[in-house]
Structure formats: structure tokens, C-alpha cells
Amino acid sequence: MSRVSEKAPTGVLDDLELYTRLYRQMLLIRGFEDLVQSLFLKGEIYGTTHLYSGQEAIATGVASLLEDRDRVAATYRGHGHALALGVDPQKLLDEMLGRESGINGGRAGSMNVNSLDDRLIGSFGIVGGSIAAATGAALALKRTSGGVAVAYFGDGAMNQGYVFECLNFCRVLKLPLVLLCENNGYGEYTSFRSVTAGEIRGRAEAMDVPAETIDGMSVWTVREAAARALAHARAGDGPAFIEAITYRFVGHSRSDPGAYRPEGELDEWKARDPIVLLRAQLEADGIDAGRLDDVARETSEQLDRMRAAGLAAPFPTALESKEFKD
């Protein structure tokens, strides 16, 4: 893993125990994605996968501020969102492997995971679909239990027409929605800049929705911005928008080697790896390096155990035709 070149200042993190837990969380997401990729290449995972590697600070930072009554809509790049919300990592891996013990009985696979017990109302394969689903959730929450709906989506979603219908609807009705745009610079193999006019943030501002653009590689920056956006939505003031600038360290999906990226771009972003940044900050603020090494070792051992258990788990039995009729 690359090292950050600049020296971290001291006294940045307000709660070192919390951020040590978030460090563990981010390592788990990264390790989970590495494991999924290796199992996919071995033919153990069918279909396709879209990995979250590089974007961990966003799901981790936002989820650390959510309440039990909140709801989240994720994308097909949603393993990290699910793990950050507390979905059992073993059940999530079993789902990837198509096993009965998967969080959705092995029938959702990588792209369609949901877990209502963990507040995850769905992972959506339609670009921008998470925003439509979260708009419905925000309406329901406002009418019933309270709480905020969060929609994660990519930069590509900002060129989908219905996204603006949702934004307008939420603003007019002052629905409690936080829109979290994970701008990783690409939609599939196309650079975001080549297909997007103007600034993403400005599109939300045009509808009188407060919006900010932030560094999506810094988990504490994400937390600060998410706290502002959630407070706005919880106060009944309507939606709030965050554009988090980030980068995916892997291809769009499956075996995409990312050959369309300019030379050196990946390395530049890896120098700002969100996990390396957090570790450097934790050490600068006084957490012992040995303790962080222990967290990394424990997480790696956890993933080894998960891999063995997942591969040993039974596949679902075929549905009886009667079940289809009912």
C-alpha cells in the first residue's frame, strides 16, 4: 500500500477510539472486496461484481452517524455500504457465493443486496435508481417514524432525468433525504468530465438544495459534511446534497483492467488511499502503530475464516414449482 507523502498534522481526530473502529471497518471493506475479486477470478462467484475499493471512507463515514430509524439505498457498487451499515460480513460473503446462508438466501448476488434489519432498503443496478427508492423512503419516514433516507449514487446518475424529478419533489415537500454523490471520475469506461456539463453541486443548488463538494478520501471530512447534511434533513429543512470526490482503485466491474485511465492517474490516487490516510492520522494523533497492526491482522484472519466458511456453506435448494404459483 502506498504511503502518504505529506506529514499528517496532529489533533485532527476528535474521538480516537471511534476512528480506530472506523479503521477496522474500512480494512474489512477493502479486504472483503479483494476476497470477492479473487473468488470471482477463481469462478466461485457468478454474474458480475462492482467493487468499492478506494471509496471506503464515504460509506464508513456516513454510516457512523446514522440512527436506527434511518434508511439507506445503495448502488450495485454496494458491498461497502452494506458492511458499513452492519450487515453480517459472513452472510454478505455467502450471498456473493450464492449460498443459502447468504443475507438474501443466495438469490440476490452481488448487485441486489438488501437487509431491512440493517436499514438497507436495496442496492440498485439502475443508475440513479437508489435516488428514486430513497425518495419514497424519505416520504414514508416523514409520514411515519421520522428519520432520514440516504441515497448513494455515482457521478453518472447526475445525467439521468428522473434524478431531477426526485430532487425537485423532495425539495418542494421538504423530505428528509441526504443525497450522496460518489464522484469517482468515471461512469463505466467514460470519464465524467467528458459527458457532464458544469458542476454537479450546482445542479442541486439550482433547486435550492444545500450542497457541498468534499474530499471523499478523508473519512473525517466525510463525517463532518454528513453531520451537516443529516442535521439539515433531521431539522425538517428538506434534502441536502454532498458530492464526495473519490476514485475506484479497480475497474468498473469484473475483469475491466481500466486501460482507459491516463497513465499515472491510479498511482496518484493511491497515494491518497483513504485507509492509508486514516492510519497516518491515527498515528499522528497518538494511536500506537502496533495496535493498528493488530487490527489489520485480526481483520485479515477474520476474512480467512469467512472464506473457508463461505466455500463450505450449502447452496440453496431449488424452489418447488408450487412456491412459484403461490
- Residues at the site binding ligand TPP, with contacts judged by CB under 6 A: 77, 125-127, 154-157, 184, 186-188, 252
Stretch that binds Mg ion, among 65-73, 165-173, 182-190, 211-219 (CB under 5 A): 182-190
Say which amino acid occupies 19: Y
- Whose Cβ is closer to ligand TPP: residue 188's or residue 301's? 188
Rounded Cα distance, 75 and 78, in Å: 5
Rounded Cα distance, 93 and 60, in Å: 18
- Strand residues in the chain grouped as ranges (E): 71-75, 120-124, 149-154, 177-183, 186-187, 190-191, 211-215, 240-245
Q: From the list 184, 218, 281, 299, which residue makes contact with Mg ion (rule: CB under 5 A)?
A: 184
- Whose Cβ is closer to ligand TPP: residue 244's or residue 313's? 244
Interacting positions 147-176 with Mg ion (CB under 5 A):
154-155
Interacting positions 17-46 with Mg ion (CB under 5 A):
none
Query: Cα–chain-centroid distance for residue 203?
Result: 22
Which of 58, 50, 51 lies closest to 33 in space, CA to CA?
A: 51
* Residue 33 burial (10 A CB sphere; 0-12, 13-18, 19+): buried
Report in angstroms how near the CB of residue 210 gets to ligand TPP at its nearest. Answer: 22
Q: Which residues contact 180 (CB under 8 A, 6 or more apart)?
A: 58, 62, 150, 151, 152, 153, 226, 242, 244
Report in angstroms how near the CB of residue 258 gets to ligand TPP at its nearest. Answer: 12
- Whose Cβ is closer to ligand TPP: residue 80's or residue 106's? 80
> 179 is in the binding site of which of ligand TPP, Mg ion, none (Cβ under 5 to 8 A by kind)?
none
Answer yes or no whether residue 129 interacts with Mg ion by CB under 5 A.
no
- Whose Cβ is closer to ligand TPP: residue 115's or residue 130's? 130
Interface residues with Mg ion (CB under 5 A)?
154-155, 184, 187
